[in-house]
Every structure is written in C-alpha cells, then in structure tokens.
C-alpha cells in the first residue's frame, strides 16, 4: 500500500470532521425542537414537522444534497435574496442536508423514547402540580434522552459516514481528496482502501466514545 497517498487524503479530514460535528449539533437542536412540537401537539407546526420527517426519511440522502445545492439556483428570487451567499456554498448545503436528514430520524427516535416513558411518570408529575409542558421539558424529555442515547449513537456514526456524499457537490473533504487522487493516479484500489481505513478508524473512535458516554449516563441513571 502506497503510504505517500496518506498526507493528501488527510488534507480533507478536518473538513469531514467539521462537517460531521456541525451537522450533528444542528440536527440535534432541530430534533429536540421537532420532538417538543410533536409532543405538545402544536397544531400550526405539527403538520410541517411531519412533512419534514416524511420527506427526509423517505428519500435518499444523496438526492437531498443535490436538491439543496442545485435546486435554489433555478429560482431568481432565491439568487437575489440575502440567503444566496449561503446556499451557493457546497459546505453549507451539505451541512444543511445532513442536519435535516439527521433531525428527521432523530425526531422519530426521541418521540419513540418519550412514548415509551411509563404513564405513571406523567401522573407523578401531574400530582406534583406540573403542567403538561413542564412535565415534558423538566422530567420526561431528559429521561427519554437517556433511554434514546444508545440508538442515537448509531445516528452519529451514520452522519459521519453520510458526510462522504458531500464530495459529490465539489466539497473537498476526505472523499473529495480521494476522488481527486484517484483521478491523478488511477490507483483506485489503494486510494479508496486507504480512505476506507480512515473512515473505519473514525468509526472505531466514535464507537468507543459513544460506549463511554452510555456507560456514564446509564450508570448515573441507576444511582
């Protein structure tokens, strides 16, 4: 295996990690907000959240990235607006697609965890004089979050691996440099094997971190 390729591939590692982190944080914030909307049954917003979930769980991530990056350019109204400088940037479009995709799946995960909370927990909150909203935000949601952590760990890894699709819209992340190196050397097997090993190493590190977090959170919940 030609190790001379490694420095070139690692040039895109920072972009991959940054894209993954920002996408996860943005998706997590959106997922929490969407979960609250669904749990409180805010009529004006519930159907919008459900539509977002339907669109982003029912279509491939690659199509979502293409539509967000190439779609707005078809409308002069958007090109003349203040948001065009953002929507014309590959990094922002890839981040937005990954965040919205992660938010859709995470919302389903969090809502399922809330629905799994025993009715007795809600009744205990009501007995203490809490409103439905107070019980949700102060007791039920934190409790459900601990229950959802193991499954959310898988979502973290999926977002990291999904970030490799950002190279399809000219973003020079790890896969972007791999594709360029392959075009220059035609050493396809070596280049993409090394790229795959880097992704495998990142997945391994993330898995260990997630398991550590699960151990700490679950240990705390048992005390």
Instruction: Give 119-130 pLDDT, tens digit per residue.
Output: 887 778 888 888
What does the pLDDT read at residue 150? 82
CA geometry: angle 143, 145, 151, nearest 5 deg: 130
Is 94 in contact with 169 (CB distance < 8 Å)? Answer: yes
State pTM to two decimals: 0.90
Whole-angstrom Cα distance, residue 25 to residue 162? 15
Helix (H) or strand (E) holding 100: helix 90-115
What does the pLDDT read at residue 218? 64
* Residue found under tokens 């950002």: 166
What does the pLDDT read at residue 139? 82
What does the pLDDT read at residue 221? 54
What does the pLDDT read at residue 219? 60
Is the per-residue pLDDT at 113 higher than 90? no
* 151-179 CB burial, b ≥16 within 10 A, e <16: ebbebbbebbebbbbbbbbebbbbbbbbb
Q: What are phi and psi of 112, to 5 degrees?
A: -65, -40
Total number of domains constituting the chain: 1
DSSP symbols for 161-203 = HHGGGGGGGT--SHHHHHHHHHHHH--HHHHHHHHHHHHHHHH
Neighbours of 115 (CB within 10 A): 10
Is 84 in contact with 12 (CB distance < 8 Å)? Answer: no
CATH number (domain holding residue 68)? 1.10.3720.10
Selection from 55, 56, 59, 85 nearest residue 72 by Cα: 85
pLDDT 10s digits, 26-60: 999 999 999 999 988 888 899 999 999 999 999 99
What does the pLDDT read at residue 133? 80
Is the per-residue pLDDT at 223 higher than 70? no
What does the pLDDT read at residue 2? 66
- The whole domain housing 15 covers 3-222
pLDDT 10s digits, 163-221: 999 999 999 999 999 999 999 999 999 999 999 999 999 999 999 998 888 777 666 55
* Residue found under tokens 């679950």: 218
pLDDT 10s digits, 129-178: 888 788 887 888 887 887 888 889 899 999 999 999 999 999 999 999 99
Selection from 42, 27, 66 nearest residue 166 by Cα: 66
**Average predicted confidence (pLDDT) for the chain:** 90
Is 168 in contact with 8 (CB distance < 8 Å)? Answer: no
């Amino acid at each position: 295996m030609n190790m001379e390729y490694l420095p070139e591939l690692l040039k895109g590692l920072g972009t991959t990690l940054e894209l993954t982190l920002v996408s996860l944080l943005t998706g997590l914030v959106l997922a929490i907000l969407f979960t609250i909307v669904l749990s409180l049954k805010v009529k004006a917003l519930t159907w919008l959240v459900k539509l977002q979930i339907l669109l982003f769980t029912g279509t491939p991530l690659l199509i979502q990235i293409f539509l967000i990056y190439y779609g707005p350019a078809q409308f002069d109204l958007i090109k003349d607006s203040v948001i065009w400088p953002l929507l014309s940037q590959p990094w922002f479009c890839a981040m937005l697609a990954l965040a919205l995709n992660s938010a859709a799946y995470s919302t389903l995960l969090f809502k399922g965890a809330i629905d799994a909370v025993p009715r007795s927990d809600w009744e205990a909150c009501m007995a203490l004089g809490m409103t439905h909203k107070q019980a949700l935000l102060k007791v039920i949601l934190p409790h459900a979050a601990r229950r959802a952590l193991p499954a959310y760990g898988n979502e973290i890894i999926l977002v990291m691996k999904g970030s490799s699709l950002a190279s399809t819209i000219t973003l020079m992340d790890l896969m972007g440099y791999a594709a360029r190196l392959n075009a220059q050397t035609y050493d396809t097997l070596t280049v993409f094997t090394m790229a795959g090993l880097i992704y495998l190493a990142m997945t391994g590190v993330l898995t260990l971190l997630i398991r550590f977090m699960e151990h700490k959170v679950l240990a705390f919940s048992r005390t």
